[in-house]
Every structure is written in structure tokens, then in C-alpha cells.
A = this chain, B = another copy of it.
Amino acid sequence: MSKPMPISGFPEWTPSQRMIEQYVLDRLRDTFELYGFAPLETRAVEPLDQLLRKGETSKEVYVIRRLHEEEGAAPTAEDTLGLHFDLTVPFARYVLENAGKLQFPFRRYQIQKVWRGERPQEGRYREFLQADIDIVDRDTLAPHHEAEMPLVIGDALRGLPIPPVRIQVNNRKVCEGFYLGLGLTDPEAALRAVDKLDKIGPDKVAELLGETAGATEAQAKACLALAQISAPDASFAAEVRALGVSHPLLDEGIEELTRVVETAAAHAPGLCVADLRIARGLDYYTGTVYETQLQGFERFGSICSGGRYDNLASSGANRFPGVGISIGVSRLLGLLFGADRLTVSRSVPTCVLVAVPTEERRAETDRIAQALRGRGIPCEVSPSAAKFGKQIRYAERRGIPYVWFPGADGAPDEVKDIRSGEQVAADAGEWNPPRADLKPLVS
């Protein structure tokens, strides 16, 4: 076998990085559970026709086939399975499938890998980890849930060793109502054009608004003026009104967005900002939308996005409107690892290496290790009865802080802090490391 190479778009962390990732996931999970979200995992695959319900994403889907099935007839979109590209579409399907067994409103979190067949030259991941929270209800969903989402995320991210975040909130009804009030007849086309503002700039967006949404120059200018509005509080509403456009959907949107921004300002000042350029690419959002910028990493785009969707989980007369938000964990960590902003104090969980004087005494060292583990102290027994200097270097290379030396001829055991060199007599049934040394520290 020749030396294997990485596969573009499929990142793999080192064990140290995975320790940091686990630390982050544990903190996220703790926060989600503090808010009463129940855990859920869905299968990795969905029928292709489900994944393609929103046409825009079709190019990104990976389909799977059993190897020995390849020779047979091509399966239909219904029979073909694809890897999920997000956790919202599978969740909506899960809710419809299990509605009879669930209690509504249903709050769940879901932390799983997703896959997208992006072109690797765009520098995007093809496999990455997302951490989602969603709330769905039957028939109607109370608007206060839209205000709750950013608060949960703010809490979850505040507990992590990462730069501060700013959550940008908008409401599609504001944009669509505004476009309709302006006299544009295809508000979705206008939304898609404005969504490209960061990428192509205002002049090109104005052109695009003319080409795809039939906007006049004045209409395009008004659309761009709306997208410029940004405020940390409900004052955005007056700025919108000042543009002189009115429509019932616009009123509805302004009311909803005001509520989200005001709740956030009351409970977590500085966390949220109303930013009327935020649109989100995916089609299924129908009201509030969220994006999140990481301070110092703004140019890399949103690390946490979501919104309200009224029609994603619907079947006949059953309607389950929902709101959700998704943290791009791999994306977030990839940025911070790349900037060397996250470190861990050692590369293994081990706190103590039990030295082995001779192979004949391995059973004895195993018992020492067992006594330490029984009291929650992670330890390894040295893999060989090499000279103690070599065993100490084994610990040093991994960042293991303590080496334990079994006593001989009635002498007590001793434990050495290999950072300070301090060595003291110790009993495996009683000794404890300082609390800070027990587990690897993430900072």
C-alpha cells in the first residue's frame, strides 16, 4: 500500500484538535439541554426526491449506491438515496414521519455530519459537522420562539473559548413586503439578487434586479437602500418607513423583526443587530432569518445561520411550522485552528503515566493504574519497562504531567510532576492531582 493522501474537502482533525472539538460539542450540548432541547439523530441518507424538493441544492447532493447494484437498472429518484446536505430537511421529514409520537411544540437539537458535493476549488468542506436547534409546532408556531433562538445561540457560543459573535437578523416578510409595495411582482427574484450584495457589490445587484426582477432604476435603488439599513434596536423600523413604501406583509415583517430585536436587546445587549441585507440562500425560509459573524473573521461569512420555515414539514392537512438555527462547527473550528486560536494542554487524556520497573512487575503497575482510574484519574501504564528516562520522555512527548514510580522493598510509591521535577511519596488509593491537571485544558 502506498502512502495515502488527504481527500480534498474531507478534513480530518488531529487527536488534539478532536479533543478541542469534543470540548466545544460538550459545551453546546450542555447549553441546548439547559434550554430543554431534546437530542435527536437522523439517518445520514434521505430519498433523493426529498433532498431535491428545493431545486437550488440539487447540484450539491451526493447519491449513494450499493457497489454490486451498479450494474442493474438505474433506480428512480424515489428509490435513490442521497446523503443529507443539512439537518433541517431530515428533521422536517422526521417530524412528519413521527408526528403521532411527538409532543408539540417539539424542541430538539441535532449534532451531525452533513455532506455537500461542492467544488473543492472553492475551498469549502464536502463533509462537515453542524449543530442545530429547532422548534416546531403543530399548525401555528408562537413568534416568541423566533426571539428565543438567538438567545440560546448567544449563550452557547459565549461559553466557548472563541471571539465574540454578532447575530444579524432580518425577516423575509420585510424584504418581500417592501418589494411588493414597490410594485415588483417577483419578490423572490429580487431577494436572490440582493442576496449577492456582498459578493458582487451594489452596481451589479442593481443590474441584476433589472434583469431578473424587472426593476426600474428607482426600484433597484430603493431595494439597495433597504439593504443598507442596520440597527442594534427597533430603530430600523423608522428607517424602513422613511423609504416611503407600504404593504401589509411589510408591516407584519417589521412587527416580527422588532420583537426579535427588542427581546434580544433586553436579555443580551449587543448580541443581535437588525440587518436588512441578510436573505439566506435556501428557499425554505418564510420569515425571520439569522446569520452570525465571528469578530475578526467577518470576511469568512456566517458561522451560524437559520430562520423560520412555515412550509417545510407539511403533509396534506398537517402543517408543522418551525424555526431553527445551525452552528457550522467544522467551519468555525477550521477558521480558529487555521489562525492558531485554540490550543489544548496535552495531546492525550492521560494525567498519569505509571512507570514499569521490570516486565515482571507489570501486574502490579496495572493494579496501581486501576486504583487511580477507580477515582477518576486518567492514566496509562508504560508500554515498556525501558529505562525510567525513556519512560519519562514518553510522558513528556504527549504532555502527560505526572509519572508514577512503584516503590520497591517496602518503600512507598512516588509520583513526579515532570514539569517542575517535584517528586513526592504517594498512595494510589489517596493521591489526587490538582484539579487543573485532571483533564486536558482547552484555551
Contact = CB atoms under 8 A, between A and B. Distances in A.
Interface stretch (A162-170, A237-245, A347-355): A347-355
Contact of A43 (B10, B59, B347, B377): B10
Given A50-B4, A53-B1, A366 B34 contact: no
Contact of A127 (B11, B45, B93): B45
A40 interface: yes
Task: Determine how many copies of this chain the complex contains.
Answer: 2
Contacts of A53: 1
Contact of A38 (B113, B348, B384): B348
B63 A97 contact: no
Given A35-B373, A373-B34, A41 B13 contact: yes
A97 B5 contact: yes
Interface in A376-403: 376-380, 383-384, 394, 397-398
Contacts of A127: 43-45
A66 B117 contact: yes
A3 B34 contact: no
Interface in A35-51: 35-45, 47-48, 50
A12 B65 contact: no
Nearest to A19: B39
Q: Is the interface of A mostly helix, strand, loop or mixed?
A: mixed
A17 to B, nearest CB: 10
A275 to B, nearest CB: 23
Interface stretch (A101-109, A181-189, A412-420): A101-109
Interface string A14-43: 111011011000000000011111111111
A263 interface: yes
Nearest to A29: B22
Contacts of A4: 47, 50, 93, 96-97
A98 B266 CA distance: 50
Bin chain A's interface residue count.
35 or more
A39 B68 contact: no
A70 interface: yes
Contact of A383 (B18, B98, B137, B366): B137
A36 B378 contact: yes
B45 A22 contact: no
A246 interface: no
A3 B97 contact: yes
Contacts of A113: 44
Contacts of A50: 1, 4
Nearest to A117: B66
Which 6 pairs from chain A and chain B are nearest by CB?
A: A66-B117, A36-B380, A36-B350, A33-B349, A15-B38, A10-B43
Given A15-B40, A44-B44, 15 more contacts: A3-B316, A4-B97, A7-B43, A15-B108, A18-B38, A18-B39, A34-B349, A35-B380, A48-B67, A58-B68, A62-B67, A63-B70, A68-B117, A103-B394, A155-B373
Interface of A: 1-7, 10-16, 18-19, 21-22, 33-45, 47-48, 50, 53, 58-70, 81-83, 93-94, 96-98, 101, 103, 105, 107-108, 113, 115, 117, 127, 137, 142, 144-145, 155, 263, 266-267, 314-316, 347-350, 362-363, 366-367, 370, 373, 376-380, 383-384, 394, 397-398
